[in-house]
A and B are shown apart, each in its own frame.
Chain A
Amino acid sequence: MMKLSNITKVYGKGSLEVPVLHGIDLTIEDGEFVAIMGPSGSGKSTLMNIIGFLDYPSSGTYELNGEQIASAKESILAKLRNEHVGFVFQQFFMFPRDNAIKNVASPLVYAGVSKRERTSRAKDLLVKVGLGDRMKHLPNQLSGGQKQRVAIARALVNNPTILLADEPTGALDSNTSGQIMKLFTQLNEEGKTVIIVTHEEEIAAYAKRIITIKDGRITDDRRVTS
């Protein structure tokens, strides 16, 4: 469970200060499928980065499974990123010289997993995301949708409890987007907490809870009952 209380974020210093988040209160339970919506520049990514331990809030508290981590050391955050969350980005972010297997296995390198184990886990996940026949391909030999599948497999490889996706379909056509969202739905059904940032209604519609942000404040938080 994640509990964010009165989280603020201010970029820059002095006269260049840009306040982005203004007192966010948000609790997300394990196993939820959340979409964070809002117009461009509203602070979605900023919030997502704080949730995913990529950035520190300027103030406020963040409780993860009962522990305070808002001001934890960088090395502790690195460990949390490695073990607790998996990231999927709009721009995919691959290691361009590494094939699909190595890209998927990369987080395990920092987890100290043996090469043999890394390769076998990466292969299993590539099969799971439907890329069993593209395992040795380099990123530039894969389509956008395939790259995003590799990214999802990479996010899953260390068996995290939370999947964070920042506009994961932003660079994909609607057909491919649908497939990616079905994959997230499936992963949520298997028990992962899934948090997706998007500004598209159709994408948010896959989630079970939709949070709307405007100008750094939560303006709406509703659960979808199907």
Chain B
Amino acid sequence: MNIWESFKIALSSIWNHKIRSILTMLGIIIGVAAVIIIVAIGQGTKKQMTNELFSTDKNAIQIYYEYIPPEGETEMFWQEPELTSEDIQTLAEVPGVKAVVATNQGWGMMTHDDEQGEMQITGVGAEFFPARDIKVVEGRALYAADNDGLNRVVLIDTIAREKFFKETETPIGEIINLNDNPYKVVGVYESPLPEQFRNTETGEMLMPRSVISMMFGNREIEQLSVIASDPENISETGRLAADTLTTEKGLEDGKYSTNDFEDYERELNTMISLLTLLIGSIAGISLLVGGIGVMNIMLVSVTERTREIGLRKAIGATRRKILLQFLIESITLTSLGGLIGIGLAAVGSILVSKFSPITATVSPLIVLIGVSFSALIGIIFGMLPANKASKLSPIEALRYE
């Protein structure tokens, strides 16, 4: 008798006792469904939170200054150290750093012809363009010389170009007013904003950060971030860069740090692992109870079918074949329970994804594990009854009333 035939016999025996089988499988169904749905939600949550964390810039990490008051003193008035182009050069040489992006910010009322509007201005250097993948569509980008020479030049984005200039007009070389000071437009760049936000914005512009510093009185470098050549190592690269800068500046009452995503991620992982463990134990107990239920029902089945077992032995079934038949029956029972559990978990994941912000995903791996695990339960808890069946003496079994 081959496995397939044992399997068919097992299926028909399960089918012949539908209600009993379903009740027996319930523990397995609940256990497997719970495990899979929790893992799915856990993975979904993690994926979503990681996406949120890293979505703005996959491989850029911000470096900021942190003031550490001396021992015993409370936080007093403190000033952030000035950053210079030498500092930027030092950072650029830190291993793993692909580029350094140093910026400052300003706001200004831009007027041109009859149009006017509030504009956000980012002060940048030449390195900004390749580092942030800025696409210049008309004119040119900024040169290092623009910063050094305090050139009063700007690039406007495509949104501002649409707002302030006619399509037929070329803005390059035009003079615009910003807070009543004249600047020359040298280029137009593709707005990095997503399409759906573009029409609500007034547009943005880029200018040399030295000019922002001079005209608006800001510090020349307000935001500093490094771009890692390998996004995988972003946290290490960022930390190394921050430490290098701290050493370079010889700081005593402060230091440079990065937002450590790794810490955050680790915390998140711990939380999810804890939750998974908790639900996992509940599911484990449910599976254990389910397994015992399966064992119980298989023992009942062996007793009920004592005569059948005797008859099978009388017509030539070996112990091994009887053992196999009952084992396959319990494996079929638990695997079927596992499959139903997976089905429920899949439906549950769809519902969770639909009615909550989390996208719960049932991975093929977890399905595989779920099925194998429930099959394993079938083997473990089916062994005793199957063994009992196989050891029955044929005549005793046939005499059984």
Centre residue among A74, A89, A95 by max chain B CB count within 10 A: A74
Contact with A along B154-165 (1 / 0, CB 8 A): 000000000000
- Decide if A154 is an interface residue (CB 8 Å cutoff): yes
In the complex, are the beta carbons of B12 and A81 less than 8 A apart?
Answer: no
Interface-facing stretch out of B68-76, B83-91, B313-321, B327-335 = B313-321
Q: Pull 26 A–B residue pairs with CB atoms less than 8 Å apart, ordered by A.
A: A49-B395, A54-B314, A54-B394, A54-B395, A55-B394, A55-B395, A74-B318, A75-B318, A75-B320, A78-B317, A79-B316, A81-B313, A83-B316, A93-B307, A93-B311, A93-B398, A95-B311, A97-B12, A97-B16, A106-B312, A106-B315, A107-B315, A110-B1, A110-B321, A112-B1, A158-B316
CB-based nearest A residue for B311: A93
The contact string, 1 if C-beta is below 8 Å from chain B, for chain A 120-164, is 000000000000000000000000000000000010001000000
**Which secondary structure characterizes the binding site on chain B?**
helix
**Nearest Cβ on chain A to B386's Cβ, whole angstroms:** 16
Residues 35 to 69 of chain A near chain B (Cβ within 8 Å): 49, 54-55
In the complex, the chain A residue whose C-beta lies closest to that of B314 is A87
- What per-residue 1/0 map shows which CB atoms of B374-401 lie under 8 Å from chain A? 0000000000000000000111001000
Most chain A Cβ neighbours within 10 Å, of B5, B312, B315, B317: B315
**A74 close to B395 (CB less than 8 A):** no
Contact status of A82 and B395, CB under 8 A, knowing A109-B5, A110-B321: no
Q: Hey, which chain A residues are within 8 Å of B1, CB to CB?
A: 109-110, 112
Question: Total interface residues on A, using CB and 8 Å?
Answer: 23
In the complex, chain B residues whose CB is within 8 Å of the CB of A72: none
Report the nearest B residue to A155, measured CB to CB. Answer: B315
Instruction: Assess whether A110 is in contact with B315, with CB atoms less than 8 Å apart.
Output: yes
A residues near B (Cβ < 8 Å) are 49, 54-55, 74-75, 78-79, 81-83, 87, 89, 93, 95, 97, 106-107, 109-112, 154, 158
- Count of interface residues, chain B, beta-carbon cutoff 8 Å: 22
The 8 closest A-B pairs by CB, nearest first: A82-B316, A107-B315, A78-B318, A110-B316, A109-B1, A81-B316, A93-B311, A75-B318
The smallest C-beta distance from A113 to any residue of chain B, in angstroms, reads: 10
Cβ of B262 under 8 Å from chain A: no
Flag if B308 contacts A95 (CB, 8 Å): yes
Contacting pair B317 A110 (CB below 8 A): yes
Q: How many whole Å from B203's CB to the nearest CB in chain A?
A: 78
Check if B316 sits within 8 Å of A78, measured CB to CB. yes
Instruction: Closest A residue to B1 by CB, please name it.
Output: A109
State in angstroms the CA–CA spacing of A163 and B318 once bound together: 20
Residue of B with least CB distance to A81: B316
Contact partners of B317 in chain A: CB under 8 A: 78, 110
Render B4-42 as a binary contact track against A, CB cut-off 8 A, 1 for contact: 010000001000100000000000000000000000000
Q: Are B319 and A78 in contact (CB under 8 A)?
A: yes
Known: A87-B314, A107-B315, A107-B316; 20 extra A-B contacts, CB below 8 A, are: A49-B395, A55-B393, A55-B394, A55-B395, A78-B316, A78-B318, A81-B316, A82-B315, A83-B316, A93-B310, A93-B398, A95-B308, A95-B311, A97-B16, A106-B315, A109-B1, A110-B312, A110-B315, A110-B318, A111-B316
